[in-house]
Amino acid sequence: MSTANTTAGTLRAGIIVIGVLTAISAGVLALFTIGENYALITAAIIVITSLIIAFTASAILGRVVLILLILTLTGTLLTGAFGTIQILAALAGDQTGQVDLPDAEVLAAAKRKIDQSSDESTFQVALSESELNAVLQDSLAETDTPFQNISIDIINPVGETALIGFVGDFKNGRLSVNGELTARTTGGQLELELLSAEVGMFTMPRVARDAVEDMIGRVADLNRALADEGADVQSVVIGDDRIVVTGVTSSDTPVDAEVMLAAFGDLGNLGSTPVNAPPYEPGVDAATASGNPVYIALGDSLAVSVGVDGFSDGYVSQLHRELSLRDGVVYGMRNFGITGETSGTMLLGGQLADAVAYGSDLDVAYVTIDVGANDLLGHLASSDCSEDVQAPACASRIDVSLAAYRSNIEAIFATLAEEFPDATVVFLLAYNPFSLGFENEVAFEAQSNAVLIELNEIATASAANHEILVADGFTPMRGTTTSTTHMTDTPPDIHPNDIGYDVLTEAIVATLPRDG
C-alpha cells in the first residue's frame, strides 16, 4: 500500500470521526439553544457533509474541512462548558443569600384579602397580579430556592387557557430564567405545565424542562401551602391580570349556619317534623370489626358518626350489624371515614388509597361511601350566599364546586369499580341540613335544596356509569332537619342525631338487593 493511499485513508477516517463528534457536540448545543428540530438538522448536515467530503474531496479540501471541524468541535465544547458552568454556579452556590423584599403596601393588601376572603369552612381568594407577585416574593424568604426574585405576568384573558410568563433571577452566577407556563386544577391539585424556558444562554428542551418546572413549582407551591391548612382547591381561575382560588377546608369546623337560620325566624317556634324510620340497634363501637368477608366504609364526618355518642350509633356500624344479621355472615368491617373529607381530599389525602390497599388481599363484600357535602355546604354558609344563593358571587362558588365534584367523584367511582369488582358498592346521597321544612316560605331553603339536588344528580349519573348503587339520603331528610339533625342546637350543627342516622341507615338497607 502506497504512502499516498495511507495518508488519504487516515485523512478520510479523521474527517469521519471528527465530523461525528462535531455533529454530536453541535447538535447538543443546538438542542439547548434553538430547539430539538434545529438540533437534528444541524447534526445531520454536519454528518452528511463530513461523509461527502471524506470520500469525494481532494486532499487539500479535506485538510481544510478537517481543520474547520476541529475548530467547530472546540468552539461548541467551550461554549457548552461556559453555559453549563454558569448554571451550575447558580444552582450549586450558597442558597441562603438575601432575596429581594416585596412592596410592603402591596403585600399587606394581599394578606388582608386573604384574611377577609377566608371563613370557617370555605375560601375564595382573589389577588391581582401585583399582589400575587408580592406574596410569591415574600415566600422566597421561607423557601430553599436558588432564586433572588421571581415575578409572573398573567397573559391570558379570563375564559381562555391560563398562560403565565415568568422571570426569575438567581442568587448566584448573574443568571436568569424566563419562560411561559400554564396551570389547571385537577382533583384538588394545582398542576403547572412548563411550555418554554430559557436559562442563561440555554433554551431548555422538552426532555430537560421537568427540573425547571419543579423548581418553579416549589416556589409557588400553592398545593402544599393549602394542604398544610387542610384545604381542598376546587378551582383556580387565571386571567385579566389576576388569580382567583376557590375551595373548601377539610377541617371539622361545623358550618356556621346561624346566618341561615335567621331567615327561618325564632328557633323556639320551629316544630319537629315527624320522621318514621326503623329504630336500628347500635353496632360495634369502633372503626374496625373482625370477620370475613369484609365491609369497607369510606366517607366524611357521617361515616365517622359525628353528632352521636360514638361509632355504634352511626350508620356504618348500624349497617354492619344489619348486614351480618340479614346475610347470616359475621362480616369484618373497616371504617376509613375522615371528618371533614371532601371529594378532592379523598382522592389526594390517602383515604381512598388506604382503603384500596387494605382490601387488595381480602374478600370485600360491601363498600359504602358518602362524600360531597363538604365540597358544597361551606359555600352555602358563606357570606356570599347568606342572602341569595342565586347571587353572582354565590353562584360562582357553587359552579366551581360542582365542576370539581364532577371530576373527582368520577375518578373515585372508577377506582372503586376497578379495585372492588365483586363487591356491592353503595353511594349515599347528601342531605341538605338547611331543609328545616319551610321550603315554600323561605327562598334560601328552596334554593339550597336545588343545589343539593344538582350535586346528587352528578353523583347518580356517575354511579350509573360504574354500576354503583345509590342510596337516597336526601329525600327522607328533606324538610325534617329540625328533628333529624342538630340544626336547632346552640350553636347549630349540621350533623345527624340518632334519628337522622337511623334514617340514613334505612336508606342504604332499602337500596341493597334482597339476596345480599
- Phi/psi at 327 (5° precision): -90, -10
Instruction: Give start and end residues of each alpha helix (H) in 328-391.
Output: 343-348, 351-359, 373-380
Mean pLDDT on 195-220: 57
Residues 347 and 462 in one domain: yes
262 in a domain, yes or no?
no
**138 Cβ neighbours under 8 A, 6+ residues apart:** 102, 107
Contact in structure between 277 and 506 (CB atoms under 8 Å): yes
For 231-290, how does the pLDDT look when each residue is reduced to its tens digit (9 = 90+)? 777 877 888 888 888 888 765 555 555 555 555 555 455 555 667 778 899 999 999 999
Q: How confident is the model at residue 57 (pLDDT cuts 50, 70, 90)?
A: confident
Please say if the pLDDT value at position 115 is more than 90: no
223-237, 306-320, 334-348 — which is least confidently predicted?
Answer: 223-237
268 in a domain, yes or no?
no
Alpha-carbon distances, residue 222 vs 136, 192, 245, 468 (angstroms)? 10, 11, 10, 34
Number of neighbouring beta carbons within 10 Å of residue 307: 22
379 in a domain, yes or no?
yes
Q: Which neighbouring-strand residues pair with 122? A: 248
Please say if the pLDDT value at position 371 is more than 50: yes
Q: Which domain holds residue 203?
A: 104-249
Residues 49 and 113 in one domain: no
Residues 131 and 224 in one domain: yes
Contact in structure between 292 and 327 (CB atoms under 8 Å): no
pLDDT for residue 306: 95
Contact in structure between 95 and 83 (CB atoms under 8 Å): no
Residues 48 and 144 in one domain: no
499 in a domain, yes or no?
yes
**328 Cβ neighbours under 8 A, 6+ residues apart:** none
472 in a domain, yes or no?
yes
Residue among 370, 320, 336, 341 nearest 509 (CA) = 320
**112 Cβ neighbours under 8 A, 6+ residues apart:** none
Query: Strand (E) positions, 63-105?
Result: none
Up-side HSE of residue 176: CA atoms within 13 Å toward CB? 9
Counting beta carbons within 10 angstroms of the beta carbon of residue 180, is it exposed (0 to 12), middle (13 to 18) or buried (19 or more)?
Answer: middle
pTM: 0.72
Please say if the pLDDT value at position 1 is more than 50: no
Residues 87 and 109 in one domain: no
For 158-171, how does the pLDDT look when each residue is reduced to its tens digit (9 = 90+)? 878 888 888 877 77
Please say if the pLDDT value at position 209 is more than 90: no
Q: How confident is the model at residue 430 (pLDDT cuts 50, 70, 90)?
A: very high
228 in a domain, yes or no?
yes
Please say if the pLDDT value at position 199 is more than 60: yes
- Phi/psi at 142 (5° precision): -100, 5
Please give the single-letter amino acid code of residue 274: P
pLDDT for residue 516: 47
Q: How confident is the model at residue 201 (pLDDT cuts 50, 70, 90)?
A: low
Counting beta carbons within 10 angstroms of the beta carbon of residue 403, is it exposed (0 to 12), middle (13 to 18) or buried (19 or more)?
Answer: middle
Contact in structure between 250 and 374 (CB atoms under 8 Å): yes
C-alpha to C-alpha distance for 385 and 396, rounded to whole angstroms: 10
For 95-110, how does the pLDDT look when each residue is reduced to its tens digit (9 = 90+)? 555 778 888 898 888 8
Q: How confident is the model at residue 349 (pLDDT cuts 50, 70, 90)?
A: confident
How many distinct structural domains can be found in the chain? Answer: 3
For 20-49, how does the pLDDT look when each residue is reduced to its tens digit (9 = 90+)? 777 777 766 676 666 667 778 887 888 888
pLDDT for residue 356: 97
Residues 372 and 450 in one domain: yes
Residues 35 and 58 in one domain: yes
Residues 237 and 124 in one domain: yes
Q: How confident is the model at residue 339 (pLDDT cuts 50, 70, 90)?
A: very high
Report helix, strand or coil for 2: coil
277 in a domain, yes or no?
no
Residue in the block written with cell 408580592: 134
Q: What is the mean pLDDT of the chain?
A: 81
In 3-state terms, the chain is what percent helix, strand and coil (to 5)?
50, 20, 30
Residues 53 and 27 in one domain: yes
**200 Cβ neighbours under 8 A, 6+ residues apart:** 83, 86, 87, 90, 173, 175, 176
Residue in the block written with cell 347528601: 430
C-alpha to C-alpha distance for 147 and 143, rounded to whole angstroms: 9
Report helix, strand or coil for 283: coil
pLDDT for residue 207: 44
273 in a domain, yes or no?
no
Please say if the pLDDT value at position 12 is more than 90: no
64-78, 86-100, 114-128, 149-163 — which is least confidently predicted?
Answer: 86-100
Choose between 316 and 5: higher pLDDT: 316
Residue in the block written with cell 391548612: 229
Residue in the block written with cell 350509573: 464
